[in-house]
Amino acid sequence: MTSRTQWGIVGGVVTVIAIALYAATRTFGADLFPVAPGSKAPAFHAATIAPGAARTKNITDYRGQVVLLNLWATWCGPCKQEMPGIQALHDTLGPQGLRVVAISVDDPQFGDAIRAFVAEHKLTFEVLHEGTGTIERDYQTSGIPETFLIGKDGVIRKRVIGAAAWNSDANMALVRGLLAEDAP
């Protein structure tokens, strides 16, 4: 066997391995790279809900900040139940640096319904909209609401599936601890 043939075989084997690894990460990505406490928060792109020209925001807009990222929908009963607690957390710890970012996963045509929900519930934190399902896939959600508490280092510190009392003593203490950490 010539040297050229040997290198051809090696190149073929490397190509097959590369294709297999690519296919495995596409097929089993959620199992190989779960979105869980201790993992980096995935990137996202979501639009502001102000009437007129929407502006796109992404995870890098919050770099170096503690973020409570809440995925919700206008039709979701548990979302309505937990919003007062999220607002109370924002009222208490927002001035100390907590960024509350609530991203509606409603269908794209729900802009007016989202704005009405925000007005009805008197929400003063940042509300964005991503109705394509991309954020739900990238954050591997299993339902709505689902909330991620992200540290200044961009690492998920807590993940809650379903409604939670975000203004509870335990959650307030956790957020205060994260706010006290130095930014990377």
User: To the nearest whole number, what is the mean pLDDT of the chain?
Assistant: 90
Q: Which domain range does residue 25 map to?
A: 1-33
| 22 and 102 assigned to the same domain | no
Categorise residue 32: left if φ over 0, alpha if ψ from -120 to 50, beta otherwise.
alpha
Residue 118: band (very low, low, confident or very high) from pLDDT cuts 50, 70, 90: very high
d(CA 97, CA 184): 15
The pLDDT of residue 79 is above 80:
yes
For the segment 43-55, the average pLDDT, to the nearest whole number, is 84
Residue 17 — pLDDT band, cuts 50, 70, 90? confident
> Does residue 14 sit in the same domain as residue 66?
no
- The pTM for the full model equals 0.81
One domain for residues 44 and 28: no
Could you give the number of structural domains in the chain? 2
Please check whether residues 19 and 108 belong to one and the same domain: no
- Are residues 20 and 71 both part of a single domain? no
Task: Please check the confidence at residue 178 and state whether its pLDDT lies above 60.
Answer: yes
